[in-house]
Structure 1
Amino acid sequence: MQDWDIFCSVIDNYGDIGVTWRLARQLADEYGFAVRLWVDDLHSFARIAPGLDAGLPQQSLAGVDIRHWPAGDFPAVDAAAVVIEAFGCPLPERYLAAMLQRARKPVWINLEYLSAEDWVAGCHAMASPHPRLALTKHFFFPGFAGNGGGLLCERTLLARRDAWQADPAAQAQYWQALGVAPRRDGEWLVSVFCYESPAARQWLAAAINAAQPLCLLVPQGKVLPDLAAALGLNTLPQAGEVHECGAVRVHVLPLSDQDGYDRLLWSCDINIVRGEDSFVRAQWAGRPMLWHIYRQQEDAHLVKLEAFLQRYCAGLPERLSRQIHDLHLQWNRDQDITASWQALPQTLAAWQQHAQAWPQIQLADGDLAMRLVQFTEKQLQ
């Protein structure tokens, strides 16, 4: 059995661990690999994996051997045949020494952040010899369609999504369990899992006074201060609370596990998402989405956003393409999206059709795990 070690340093609470946890589970489940996942923050990890005991330094969950990555002395362990450092987190010196002890050096991969930029194709799978040690690291870039390393998607995910979306009884039971009242006439269900921003606050305030009824499903997260301000609340809303104001009713949801979040995305008409993990899962949901990308210095994030939008909107009618561009760029530039949002009913049906077709296009050349396994097998030959 091929063994893998995946290292994750949790930076923004859920994004990095979200990606590595999905990858670890998929490698163990679909390929039968022995996977160790080293994580430096088990408490954040436990919030998206409720079966995890944050107090245990070693445990097994979903077929993955989970280890706490201590801040101090790293334990003496044998290095795996394949080693992944997620998003450039530096490996412990003691583990590097263990890698050198293997008769056949491990395949060492830096799993990079997702980008749709053109330069990714030229850098994907590039080798980088270590400056001191007889080890070589390869850079693996997730990407779109045939460009780069693909996107994380389990083999059965789209079939499970289709079955869920075709089962109104299961959806009704799901909403009832969350305490969400049945949909009102003409109401849009919108999930909101984004960063705090002036654009979010302006949009919420405008939505309250708009004609279009909205039911906002808001998992606990960074947008709650904006939500409180728009609703005129003196304290942050808590999970389980329901607030109604104007055309908007808001349900604050507890942070769920990853499978539960997928069901939320599948069940909504529009999904507002953030970062990388929820961004990719919203694409697999096959529903219109608005991506709140992580802000970077000198507006580098806007370049990445525009690169994605160019791919996502390629071949679309001008009106729909402009609508999608306007919503994304205005939100991520902290501009007022009220006018663009009010125009959305005119293009929503066409956007829904595009969103449904998009996942199959992106998976035509295989998902990230498949491409990663193919790459490592070539290196191990």
Structure 2
Amino acid sequence: MKARWDIFCSVVDNYGDIGVTWRLARQLVVEHACNVRLWVDDLRAFERMCPEIDVHLDEQWQEGVEVRFWPTEWRDTASADVVIAAFACQLPPEYMEAMAASARAPLWMNLDYLSAEEWVVGCHRLPSVKFKGVQKYFFFPGFRPGTGGLLREAGLLEQRQAFQQDAAAQRQFLQALGVFATEGARLISLFAYENAGLGRWLDVLSSDVRPTHLLVPEGRILGDVQRWLGVEGLVAGDVHQRDALTVQVLSFVRQEQYDRLLWCCDFNAVRGEDSFVRAQWAGRPLLWHIYRQDEDIHLDKLDAFLALYTAALSPAASAALIALWQAWNTDGDMAQAWKMLLEHWPEVNQHAQTWCLEQGLQADLATALVQFYESWI
């Protein structure tokens, strides 16, 4: 019989949590023939990336995944063979009792946040707490050997390479989104949290000798874009130009379309976890807006990734990339940092491709989870 998997997702950051778990659920079904129930407590956030979702249904099937609404009032539900609590969310007490009452205890895992910190390797797959005899395990995605790897569907990099080598396919895709960039313009995507440093970056882009077409999917950064433009009520489809910079707002798109948007762009500014990983698979230079945490502990995660990511760069290119990321995440001087990065663009661009291929040599996250389950049983 196929293994039964329950994935619990409590939507905290609008799209990042559900973005990761939705990708994972589909991959487990398609590539590993698992029976998957995805429990989600916010179907309206889910609907943005899967428009077929009916937010009024407690149970439905989408792309081979059984989608369940995670209710406040829990009813009797038998536990699965594998139970994943995504991003340390707390399972319903009634479900935990069902796990303990099972004839065979399930494999219970906390799928943790992505981190490049060295300690992750030592904690990956270690036992955590127990609940009435049911053992919980840590499972860490990561960039280093000895971690759970990154979400990556079979054939993804080959699809991306073929798409990036097909100028007509890219043009057709962008035109379907309403994007008609000037010939030779630098194409940048911007998906970020609110950021006080955005204006300084847009200033330098607008005064550049090379035109830039900035694509901004609907999201939290729109307020800062509006302030810089001096307009109100930006909506999808709006296009504004100031000197060398064209700003265009895009509708929120499905995950597969967002992947292709990243593949089309010369540079991708992303946020959170799901888009961060997808930007790396695009093989293009990127800028990560990490989720802010109390006492700035998120900066430790940022520094750990930068140390790993820039290790193979020349000292000057590494310093330029680090300066840009730190400026973006600490309200620094984005104008000067961007100018420094452009001085090392060929090297940084080639490195993004090399990094992508190197990460692609590791087992993907879904496969690593299945392998852990198979070794556990």
Alpha-carbon distance in structure 2 between the residues aligned to 1:42 and 1:225: 25
Q: What is the CA distance between 1:322 and its match in structure 2? A: 0.9
Give runs of aligned pairs for residues 42-53 of structure 1, distance below 5 A.
Answer: 42-53=43-54
Residue type matched to 1:217 in 2?
A: L
Q: What is the CA distance between 1:127 and its match in structure 2? A: 0.4
**Which deviations, in whole Å up to 9, do the C-alpha atoms of 1:259-281 show, x marking residues without a partner?**
01000000000000001110000
- Number of the residue aligned with 1:347: 344
Alpha-carbon distance in structure 2 between the residues aligned to 1:346 and 1:336: 16
Alpha-carbon distance in structure 2 between the residues aligned to 1:211 and 1:232: 23
Moved more, 208-217 or 106-115: 208-217
Kindly indicate whether residue 362 of structure 2 is the aligned counterpart of residue 361 of structure 1: no
Alpha-carbon distance in structure 2 between the residues aligned to 1:379 and 1:91: 21
Contact kept, 8 Å, 1:145 with 1:364, in 2: the verdict is no
Give runs of aligned pairs for residues 1-381 of structure 1, distance below 5 A.
Answer: 1-71=2-72, 73-130=73-130, 132-185=131-184, 187-233=185-231, 235-380=232-377
Q: Structure 1 segments of 4 or more deviating over 6 A? A: none
Alpha-carbon distance in structure 2 between the residues aligned to 1:268 and 1:147: 32
Q: What is the CA distance between 1:165 and its match in structure 2? A: 0.8
Q: What is the CA distance between 1:363 and its match in structure 2? A: 2.7
Q: What is the CA distance between 1:184 and its match in structure 2? A: 2.9
Residue type matched to 1:165 in 2?
A: Q
Contact kept, 8 Å, 1:145 with 1:363, in 2: the verdict is no
Alpha-carbon distance in structure 2 between the residues aligned to 1:86 and 1:334: 30
3-state SS in 2 of match to 1:184: coil
Alpha-carbon distance in structure 1 between the residues aligned to 2:203 and 2:353: 30
Alpha-carbon distance in structure 2 between the residues aligned to 1:183 and 1:310: 36
Alpha-carbon distance in structure 2 between the residues aligned to 1:75 and 1:359: 44
**Which deviations, in whole Å up to 9, do the C-alpha atoms of 1:238-264 show, x marking residues without a partner?**
001111111110110000010010000
Cα-Cα RMSD: 1.2
Contact kept, 8 Å, 1:6 with 1:84, in 2: the verdict is yes
Residue type matched to 1:32 in 2?
A: A
3-state SS in 2 of match to 1:88: coil
Contact kept, 8 Å, 1:145 with 1:361, in 2: the verdict is no
Q: What is the CA distance between 1:168 and its match in structure 2? A: 1.1
Contact kept, 8 Å, 2:11 with 2:42, in 1: the verdict is yes
Moved more, 282-291 or 360-369: 360-369
Please give the TM-score of this superposition, normalised by the length of structure 2: 0.97
Moved more, 282-291 or 336-345: 336-345
Q: What is the CA distance between 1:126 and its match in structure 2? A: 1.2
Residue type matched to 2:122 in 1?
A: G
Contact kept, 8 Å, 2:327 with 2:333, in 1: the verdict is yes
Alpha-carbon distance in structure 2 between the residues aligned to 1:12 and 1:129: 26
Contact kept, 8 Å, 2:203 with 2:335, in 1: the verdict is no
3-state SS in 2 of match to 1:198: coil
Alpha-carbon distance in structure 2 between the residues aligned to 1:212 and 1:8: 43
Q: What is the CA distance between 1:175 and its match in structure 2? A: 1.6
3-state SS in 1 of match to 2:223: helix
